[in-house]
Amino acid sequence: MTREARAFWLRAPGEGEIRPAPLPAPGPDEVLVRSRYSGISRGTETLVFTGGVPPSQYAAMRAPFQEGDFPAPVKYGYLNVGVVEEGPARLRGRTVFCLHPHQTAYVVPADAVVPVPEAVPAARAVLAGTVETAVNALWDAAPLVGDRVSVVGGGMVGCAVAALLARFPGVRVELVDANPARAAVAAALGAGFAPPERAAGGRDLVVHASATAAGLQRSLELLAPEGTVVELSWYGDRPVTLALGGAFHSGRLTVRSSQVGAVAPARRGSRSFTDRLALALDLLADPAFDALITGESRFADLPDVLARLADGRLAALCHLVTYDRE
């Protein structure tokens, strides 16, 4: 007898709904996972929610277990933590992370889930995909001991990068954001804080994650000669304009992209996607990451919650979605 779960779908840009989702019986190499929490990746998911994914990026933006196609109808998301109810003995009863859309339960291949370490609370583990992005960014950026580093943009990804950088020996990291409320988050992560107009200059490295042209421009302005901006922002269909006069050429500055869809070249020969995700989960044993979870709501409220996140009525870094057992 086919069982049924419930899933969040984007029916049309700006309009979400909860739909039934048939659950097949898991095969010998599959698991049935009952969701405990999922997280809303605010920047990417609100872009999807508003229909802002450009057609040229439809394929690149697909989530691992996405159903439907952009702009809509589409089932999208990738931060899920649940408990394995059926599957191989080594996984049954384990709390696991999976790159799965918002859904009360689901069946996936067993190798698509990664066990959450006992030292990591299940709610905090929804940040694994974000911390994995930060790990990949720092593999790309390769900061050195004693570097002066700024992170411009205090969203989920920027804060995760700042948290990791604050643990590098001798690195002085400053989180730069126009929202003064991010100062408390930066302090909890062990980083300094400054608004854009007061940010420290002469930086060896700047990681940009504000998804604004102004933020990228300011990132370039903060660099020391021959410094690098590592660009993590996803702009969707919005054009970006930069002024590349002044010190850009004379200072031999660099703008380099980093994207989590591929393992950074520096580690591609020795680390798999699973290795990278497992590392991110291990790093989440640090309770400082709790500062990134700034709101909570029930799964049934997702259509309204995503609408409020998208139009700015609800402010959040990572918004936690909770699931009642059915």
pLDDT at 175: 98
> What are the distances in angstroms from CA 290 to CA 47, 68, 322?
24, 33, 16
> Rounded to whole angstroms, how far apart are CA atoms 253 and 58?
31
Confidence of residue 18 (pLDDT cuts 50, 70, 90): very high
pLDDT at 315: 85
Stretch(es) of the chain classified as CATH 3.40.50.720: 133-257
> What are the distances in angstroms from CA 135 to CA 50, 92, 141, 164, 273?
28, 29, 10, 8, 11
Confidence of residue 325 (pLDDT cuts 50, 70, 90): low
pLDDT (mean) for 146-150? 97
User: 3-117+285-322: what CATH class?
Assistant: alpha beta
Confidence of residue 234 (pLDDT cuts 50, 70, 90): confident
pLDDT (mean) for 131-159? 96
What does the pLDDT look like over 97-106, one tens digit per residue? 999 999 999 9
pLDDT for 19 beyond 80: yes
What does the pLDDT look like over 207-229, one tens digit per residue? 999 999 999 999 999 999 999 99
Name the more confident of 41 and 207: 207
pLDDT at 173: 98
pLDDT for 42 beyond 90: no
Best CA proximity match to 71, nearest among 11, 146, 28: 11
Name the more confident of 169 and 235: 169
Residue entry with tokens 């959450």: 116
pLDDT (mean) for 86-104? 97
Sequence-separated (6 or more) residues with CB below 8 Å from residue 311: none
List phi, psi (to 5°) of 222.
-85, -10
pLDDT at 60: 86
Average pLDDT score over the chain:
95
> Rounded to whole angstroms, how far apart are CA atoms 231 and 208?
5
Buried b (16+ CB within 10 A) or exposed e, 266-290: ebeeebebeebbbbbbebbebebbe
pLDDT for 326 beyond 50: no
Hey, is 225 helix, strand or coil? strand
Question: Is 0.95 topped by the overall pTM?
Answer: no
pLDDT for 69 beyond 90: yes
Best CA proximity match to 42, nearest among 306, 230, 301: 306
pLDDT for 308 beyond 80: yes
pLDDT at 2: 62
User: 133-257: what CATH class?
Assistant: alpha beta
Stretch(es) of the chain classified as CATH 3.90.180.10: 3-117+285-322
pLDDT for 1 beyond 60: no
pLDDT at 222: 98
pLDDT for 165 beyond 50: yes
Give the type of residue at 251: G
Query: Please, are residues 113 and 98 in contact by the beta-carbon 8 Å criterion?
Result: yes
pLDDT at 13: 97
> Rounded to whole angstroms, how far apart are CA atoms 33 and 44?
24
> Rounded to whole angstroms, how far apart are CA atoms 230 and 247?
17
Give the type of residue at 309: L
Hey, is 105 helix, strand or coil? strand
Query: Please, are residues 299 and 321 in contact by the beta-carbon 8 Å criterion?
Result: yes
Which long-range CB contacts under 8 A does 94-97 form with residues at least 24 apart?
Answer: 95/36, 95/122, 95/125, 96/31, 96/33, 97/125, 97/126, 97/128, 97/129, 97/277, 97/281
